[in-house]
Structure 1
Amino acid sequence: MFERFTDAARATVNGAQTEARQLRQHHIGTEHLLLALLRPGPDTGLAHNLLTATGLRHDQVAADVTRLADATEPLGAADAAALEAIGIDLEAVKAKLEENFGPGALTPPSPPARRGLFGRRRATPTSPGHIPFTPRAKVVLELSLREALRLKHRHIGTEHILLGLIREGRGLAARILTDHGIDLPDLRTRTEQAAAGTKTA
């Protein structure tokens, strides 16, 4: 499938990994693909132009991703403030739990090391060289191929990745787009119209 990707589309997939690393996140989600589409640069592609025409900016989306990721973290700063308002000291609770159950009691366990042929340890998806794609992000990439086939294009460009993000419709990228007042069916129509007038992007 990746041999059909244009240079700009490959840069987007690689850029999504960079975005996840810069935000210190351990997965590549639909939001990182959106950030990669929005990152300014020489190989931006058609999707970048369509997204920035809506007024959306890379720094806005990066702030949204950070805010929404923080909101899903268990016992974050907002939780500490809410608990403090009713007289509960979150740090004291954490300290007591660690005292009773050991250091790192609240930290989720790491996946076991995988072993390959002859019992050798294999790199895990969270090793420094590799950040795994979430199931939704994988679906977006699969849908980008389907969108290219539907439009009878021989390549997969950034416009097809954007169409995949829109078609998936339930990931964090779609939520961010709609939170910014972007109408997904309208963006889809404009993307298809623009894709009809271009050969690679």
Structure 2
Amino acid sequence: MFERFTDRARAVVRHALVEAQTEGRRPVGTEHLLLGVLADRDNLAVRLLAADGIDADALRAAVARHTVRGVDGLGAADAAALREIGVDLAAIVARIEESFGPDALREATPRPRRWWRRRHDSGRFSPRAKKVLELSLREALRLRHRHIGTEHILLGLLREGNGLGAQVLVEAGADVDDLRQRVEVALREAA
């Protein structure tokens, strides 16, 4: 499938792989694909988001808020939910670190697989990220394009709709249907 990708779309996938590895996460998620799209500030997808008033840096910060786990090992939503039911997470974390050391709650990084047990490249992507890439191909075919560009990946993210990438876009104020239409119009005008 990657043979249809433009150089910029391939760069998006490479950037997503690097983002996931840097984060210490094994599979690439939809949020990493979104970060990959945002990495090249000169592509059509980023220009359309900017025209919609959505700042790429704000999206990066939102992804970081959702994916970065604090000292407590939980996301912000989990910590808030525990706080509401009266669980003092800071006290629990302090006791654990006092007993087991400061890195006790740190997520272990997976050991690299042996070369004979290595999975194919598709094992690097979460099911939702695979779906986004598949949908980007379908969007390109639907629009009768012979290539898959960054804008098709954005359309795939929007069409999948349930991943963290789409969730962050919606939280930033993107109207999914309107954005899809504007991407399609821009693609038709560019053709």
TM-score (norm 1): 0.73
Give the match for residue 148 of structure 2: 156
Answering whether residue 63 of structure 2 is matched by residue 65 of structure 1, we say: yes
For 2:18, the aligned partner's letter is T
Query: Which of the two has higher C-alpha Rg?
Result: 1
Contact 1:45 1:157 in 2 (8 A): no
Contact 1:9 1:45 in 2 (8 A): no
TM-score (norm 2): 0.76
Cα pair distance change 1:25/1:64, threshold 3 Å: farther
Q: How many residues align?
A: 184
Answering whether residue 89 of structure 2 is matched by residue 91 of structure 1, we say: no
Greater mean alpha carbon deviation, residues 4-13 or residues 21-30:
21-30
Give the match for residue 171 of structure 1: 163
Contact 2:97 2:104 in 1 (8 A): no
Q: What secondary structure does 1:181 align onto?
A: coil
Cα pair distance change 1:67/1:123, threshold 3 Å: same
User: Could you list the runs of 5+ residues in structure 2 that have no partner in the other structure?
Assistant: none
Cα pair distance change 1:114/1:73, threshold 3 Å: farther
Q: Distance in 2 between matches of 1:50 and 1:183?
A: 12
Cα pair distance change 1:112/1:105, threshold 3 Å: farther
Identity between Structure 1 and Structure 2 (%)? 45
Give the match for residue 37 of structure 2: 37
Q: 1:186 aligns with which of 178, 181, 184?
A: 178
Deviation at 1:21, TM superposition (A): 3.9
User: Could you list the runs of 5+ residues in structure 1 that have no partner in the other structure?
Assistant: 117-121
Cα pair distance change 1:105/1:6, threshold 3 Å: closer
Greater mean alpha carbon deviation, residues 18-27 or residues 50-59:
18-27
C-alpha deviations, 1:82-120, integer Å up to 9, x for none? 4448x9432314555x59xxx96986795895673xxxx
Q: 2:125 aligns with which of 116, 127, 133?
A: 133
C-alpha deviations, 1:19-43, integer Å up to 9, x for none? 33444444321111111212245xx
Q: What secondary structure does 1:154 align onto?
A: coil
Q: Distance in 2 between matches of 1:45 and 1:73?
A: 36
Q: Distance in 2 between matches of 1:111 and 1:198?
A: 46
Q: Distance in 2 between matches of 1:11 and 1:154?
A: 18
Contact 1:46 1:159 in 2 (8 A): yes
Q: Distance in 2 between matches of 1:112 and 1:168?
A: 30
Q: Distance in 1 between matches of 2:64 and 2:145?
A: 35
Contact 1:38 1:57 in 2 (8 A): no
